[in-house]
Each structure stands twice: as C-alpha cells, then as structure tokens.
Amino acid sequence: MTMPPDLEFLPPSALARWWGHGVLALGVTACAAVGLHYAQEVAAREAALAQLQPAVKAAPQTSVPRALQAEVEAAQAISAALSVPWEAWFKQLESVVVPGVVLTALQPEPGSRRARITGQASDLALALAYVEQLEQSPGFWHVLLLDHALQEGAVPPHVRFTLSAEWEATP
Amino acid sequence: MLPLPWRDQAAVWLAPSQVGLALRRRGWRTQAAQHRDATLEGGASAPAAALQALAALAAQATADGQATRAHTRIVLSNRFVPSALMPGATALRGAAERQLAAREVLRATHGDGVDNWALALDTRGGANPLAAGLEANWLATLRTTAQQAGLQAVSIRPLLAVAAAQAWPHIEGRSVWLLVTEADGAVLARIDTRGTWQSLRSLVLGTPTDADALSASIAVWLARCCLLDGLEPADLPLVYAPWQWASKDAGQSQADFAATVTNAGWQLQTVALSPDALWTSP
C-alpha cells in the first residue's frame, strides 16, 4: 500500500508531541493507584477475617485436663450403653430356655453391645447346649463360652460357666 | 448560548495572485464555509503582499465576529514552494542526510538561496521522494501573521501535497500523470504503480487572457512534457486536479480544458479539489 507525500512545513507542536505520552503516563498512574488500593483492600479484608475467627483457630491448641477427659469418656460410655436396647435384649435372653441351666449373673461390657453371662448347669453338656441354642437365637451372635468349672463340693454337683454374647441389632 | 467545546475550522490559500480565507463554524449543524478572498498584482513582491492580504482578511473576519483561534490549514501555491525529486534517496541514512541531499538537489536549480530555506521532505515516498523548500523568514512571518490574526495553524502544505492526497485513491496502484493546476501555474508529475514519483515539472502561467488560451497553453506544455518522458499522451491516464478557490466560472473552464486535452488524446480523469476538501483531508 502506497501513501501520498506528506510535505508539511509546520513542525508538530510540543503539546501534540507530548499528548500521547501524557495520556499513557496518566493511564499507568491510574492503573498503579487502582492496584495499590486493591492490595490495601485485600490486606484489610484478611485482617478483618483474622479478627473474626481467632477462637476457631485456637481451639485445637487448647489442652483438656485429664480428669475432665475421663469424665467425658465415661459420659460417652454411658451414652453408648444407654443407646443399647437392653429391655429387648433381656426378653430375648429369657426366651432361650434349656432345662437344667440357670443364669446367675449378667454384666454388660461398657462401650459395646457385649454382655458377660454367668450361669450353672447340671453338667457341661447342658451348658454347651445352652450356648448353641443362644447362638441360634435371633439377636445374639458371637456367643462364646469363656470358662467353666465343675463344682464337686456342691450338692448336687454342677458346672459353673461364663459366656459372652453380643447383641445384634435387628433392623 | 454557550460556545461549543470544539474549535472552528479555517482554510487559508496563499498564491501570488490570490489570497483566500475560508471559515467554517463547527457545531451540531454543519454550516457552509464563508469565503473571503483578495486579488493581488503578483510579481516579485507577491510573497510579502500575500501575507499582508491575509492579515487584512483575518482582521475583517475578526471584526465581523467570526471564528477566532480556529484550527487552520494553510495551503501554499506551488509557485511559492519550489519542489524537486530526490533520486536515490533510499541510500540515504537518517534525517540529517536526507535534509542535506534535499538542499543540494534544490540548490542545483535555485542557487545558494536555499541555505535560508525551510525544507519539507516526504518520508513516505519510495525511491524518489519529494522535497520542497520555502524561505524560512517568510514561513516564520506567515506563522506570526496567522497567530496574530487569531488563526491557529495546524498544517502548512504546498498545493501539490494537498492535491496528491486528495487524488491518491485514483492514483494508487496505477501509472498515471498527475496534473495540478491553479490560477498562477501548473505542476505535472508522473507516478508509477508503486507510488514512486518518476518526474516532476512545473509551469508558470502569466496573466491569462481567457480560458481558451489558458487551456491551450497547458495542453501544449503537457505534450512537451510527455515527449520529454518518451511517452505518448495515450500511454498513461491523466489525473487532473484543478484547484479552484471560490471561482464562479470554474466549471466552464474545467470543461473547456477537458475537451482540449481529450481531443489531444489524453485519458482524462478529473478530481475535485477545493477548500472544502481540506475539512476532510487527513
């Protein structure tokens, strides 16, 4: 693309010469001012957020006294024990009947659905039969015979046994 | 009514035999330019007389309450601005070398007086850019005169540059003759397809007796220039840019000239060139 000749006897004025530079400088200054103001606003916002959330950040660093921690754990255990439907568990336990077998003690284990059951049987075979029947009863699982002992001095002689059973919550 | 925030516009035409001032107010509604002109005797004192006439016209405009501090484009007659081509300018390095070369080219024709000239160089041209000169004191006086008359000069150009800019859409990409005529003379340039100026010749017209004589003298000169370049009139189109400053019989004289050169075998293409073109020119 060709251009016509530009014969011009009037030199460009100083105002025209510096006009473009002046506008450029003004624009750069305005951008810098806006950027500085933005940075200040961001810093102020972060400072305000830091003032609003000190407790949340400090909470994990506070130490709990041991006595209080023990009380908390006990309360949590009680809460867990209370959450087990013991009434239904007892009724289900009573429904399992083996002649010659009597239960003498029942002790729930804290923090779990497991209970320790103590009883007497005429002989070991009846005790094992009770364990098997309890295992097959709905709601019980992991029924284990923990120990047994023959009471030879007792009249009539019998076997003391201890077992543990876990209550399986039914939907 | 409050004044509008933009400047009024003015055009000044300075020639040995004519000085003109056109003022146009700018605003919500574009108004027609108001022309003032004065006829001069010409001769050796024409440059100084032209400045005096300009001052008088501007004083009249100010007295009539017309625009002051208008953005003013000043167009100088080719008679006031000797021009030449600088062959081999592409080998020149920098503005200083171009200034020196332009001064030497003009010195070859106009003598040592060019040492006191202000030069204008075409920086857009190709191999043969244009160089023009103007007596520096006269240019300074012109700027002072315009400033004292309340005119803020934004451009001072020779008519050749104004005409080339106006006619360039018809020239670009073609090999043409460019003929610029005014009341006191004519300039003929040959431009090739790359926009390179190949030749430049000027004609000084005396006091023409009538339009027919003027057309005939220009036609003869055109034929001579064509022969000097080794061409026939029909070889290249002729882009004709007649400068008319508020001339009432311009249309008829242009038609007469067109008929004359067309009969001589030229392919004529006329480009309107008037002060109104200055308002839209870059």
Co-location of A163 and A92 in the same domain? yes
pLDDT at position A5 is 87
Q: Looking at beta carbons, which residues of chain B come within 8 Å of A12?
A: none
pLDDT at position A91 is 83
CB-CB contact of B152 with B72 (8 Å): yes
Which DSSP state fits A34? H
Q: Is the pLDDT of residue A30 over 60?
A: yes
Task: State whether A3 and B129 contact (CB < 8 Å).
Answer: no
Co-location of A101 and A158 in the same domain? yes
Nearest neighbour of A4 by CB, restricted to B120, B154, B164: B164
Q: For residues B139 and B103, give the distance between their C-alpha atoms in angstroms, rounded to a whole number.
A: 17
The whole-number average pLDDT for the span B220-227 is: 91
What ipTM was estimated for this complex?
0.84
Q: Looking at beta carbons, which residues of chain B come within 8 Å of A15?
A: none
Does A14 contact chain B (CB < 8 Å)?
no
CATH number, position A142: 3.30.1360.100
Co-location of A42 and A96 in the same domain? no
Co-location of A38 and A98 in the same domain? no
Instruction: With cut-offs at 50, 70 and 90, classify the pLDDT of residue A32.
Output: very high
3-state secondary structure of B233: coil
pLDDT at position A171 is 47
Co-location of A44 and A90 in the same domain? no
Task: State whether A6 and B161 contact (CB < 8 Å).
Answer: yes
Does B198 contact chain A (CB < 8 Å)?
no
- Burial environment of residue B26 by CB neighbours within 10 A (0 to 12, 13 to 18, 19 or more): middle
User: Is A98 inside any structural domain?
Assistant: yes
pLDDT at position A170 is 57
Residue with tokens 């024709």: B109
> Rounded to a whole number, what is the largest CA-CA distance in chain B?
63
Structure tokens at A98: 């083996």
Co-location of A47 and A102 in the same domain? no
Q: Quick: pLDDT tens for B241-265.
A: 998 886 555 667 778 888 888 888 8
Number of structural domains in chain A: 2
Strand order in the sheet with A114-121: A101-108, A114-121, A158-167, A140-151
Q: Is the pLDDT of residue B1 over 50?
A: no
Residue scoring higher pLDDT (B2 or B25):
B25
Q: Is the pLDDT of residue B3 over 70?
A: no
Question: Which phi and psi (to 5°) does residue A102 adopt?
Answer: -125, 145
User: Is A136 inside any structural domain?
Assistant: yes
Q: Which residue of B has its CA nearest to A3?
A: B124
Rounded to two decimals, the pTM is 0.65
Co-location of A93 and A49 in the same domain? no
Q: Is the pLDDT of residue B282 over 60?
A: no
pLDDT at position B106 is 94
Nearest neighbour of A7 by CB, restricted to B157, B171, B194: B157
Domain B169-280 has CATH 3.30.420.40: yes
Task: State whether B122 and A9 contact (CB < 8 Å).
Answer: no
Task: State whether A8 and B118 contact (CB < 8 Å).
Answer: no
pLDDT at position A57 is 55
Domain that holds residue A29: 15-55
pLDDT at position B245 is 80
Co-location of A99 and A145 in the same domain? yes
Q: Quick: pLDDT tens for B41-55.
A: 767 678 889 999 999
Please say whether the dihedral angle defined by the alpha carbons of residues B71, B77, B83 and B89, taken in this order, is positive or negative.
Answer: positive
H helix or E strand, kind and range, residue B69:
none
The whole-number average pLDDT for the span A100-127 is: 86
Secondary structure E strands in A7-139? 101-108, 114-121
pLDDT at position A82 is 65
User: Is A6 inside any structural domain?
Assistant: no
Q: Looking at beta carbons, which residues of chain A come within 8 Å of B141?
A: none
User: Is A9 inside any structural domain?
Assistant: no
pLDDT at position B2 is 46
Residue with tokens 């503005």: B95
Q: Looking at beta carbons, which residues of chain B come within 8 Å of A1?
A: 172
Q: What is the DSSP string of B31-47?
A: -PPEEEEEE---STTHH
Q: For residues B201 and B186, give the distance between their C-alpha atoms in angstroms, rounded to a whole number.
A: 8
